[in-house]
Amino acid sequence: MISNLRQLVRYRGLIQSLVARELKARYRGSVLGFFWSFINPLLLLLIYSFVFTYVLQNRSEGVQPYAVFLFCGLLPWTWFAASLTEAAGALISGGNLIKKVLFPAEILPLVSVLANMVHFFLGLPILVAFLVIYRHPPDALDLVWFPVVVFVQLLFTAGLALALSALAVHFRDIRDILANILTFWFFATPIIYPMEMAPSLGRRMLNLNPFTHLAVSYQEILFYPGAFGHWKWLLALGVASVGLFLAGYWVFDRLRDSFAEEV
C-alpha cells in the first residue's frame, strides 16, 4: 500500500490532464463554456439573496445577510457532495481505463474530488465579492487558516471517495443509498442554520458530525471576522482525516485486483 501511495506523486501529470479533461467536458458544447463556473455560483447567490430578503425573510441575529451566511457553508458542501457522488461511479464509468494493466485506478476518484475542488475555488471570488459588498470582509489573520480548512476537507473527502468508489464496484446500491445519506448529512450539518441555534444536546450531536467542523470553520473564517475559535476541532479533524485517507486507500488497495472483472 505504501509503495502505491508513493506512486501517486509520479502520476501528478496524468492527474492534472484528467482534471483538465473533466473540467472541459463539463461545459462542452455550451456557448459560455468555462464561464459557467463563475456564473452558476453568482446566479445561485443572487437567487438566495432575493428569496431570503423578499420572499422568506430571515431576521435571525448573527446571520445577516442570511444568503451570504448560507453560501459560506453551501459552497464547500457542494464540493464535498458532488465529489462523493461522482467518485461512487468513477470506476464503473472508467472501466475501459481500469482494464489497462498499467493504469492507476485510484486516480479516477481523486480526479472527481480535485475537479470539484477547482469549481469550489472558482466560486470563492463570487462569495468574497458579496462579503465585501455587504461589508463583511474576512479578517486577514483568520484567512491564514483558510488553506488548512481546504486541505483538511481535501483529505477527508478523498479518503471517503476512495473507499466509496471501490465498494461501489461490488455493491452498486451504494450510489443510490449515498444520495439519501447526503441529504440527511446536509441537514445534520449547521449550514442552513448557525451552530448556536441548536440546543445543548443538539450541539453535542452536531459535534459528532465531522463536516460540522468544516462548515463552522468556513463560517468563522469568512463570515465572522476575528472570531475563529474552532481551530482545535479543525486540527483534531485534520488528524482524523489523515487516518481516514489511509483507511480509504487501504480498502481501495485491497479490492483493486477485482476491479477489472467487475466493471
Residue 250, Cβ neighbours under 10 Å: how many? 16
**pLDDT confidence of residue 105:** 85
Contact, 76 vs 146, CB < 8 A?
Answer: no
The conformation of residue 34, written as its DSSP 8-state character, comes to G
Instruction: Report the C-alpha gap between 242 and 229 in whole angstroms.
Output: 22
Q: Which residues of the chain have pLDDT under 50?
A: none
> Which grid cell is 24?
472541459
Q: Is 207 exposed, middle or buried (0-12, 13-18, 19+ CB in 10 A)?
A: middle
**pLDDT confidence of residue 263:** 59
**pLDDT confidence of residue 112:** 93
**pLDDT confidence of residue 146:** 94
Exposure b/e, 110-128, CB count within 10 A at least 16 = b: bbbbbbbbebbebbeebbe
**pLDDT confidence of residue 198:** 79
**pLDDT confidence of residue 91:** 86
Q: Is 122 helix (H, G, I), strand (E, B) or coil?
A: helix
**pLDDT confidence of residue 32:** 61
Instruction: Report the C-alpha gap between 144 and 224 in whole angstroms.
Output: 14
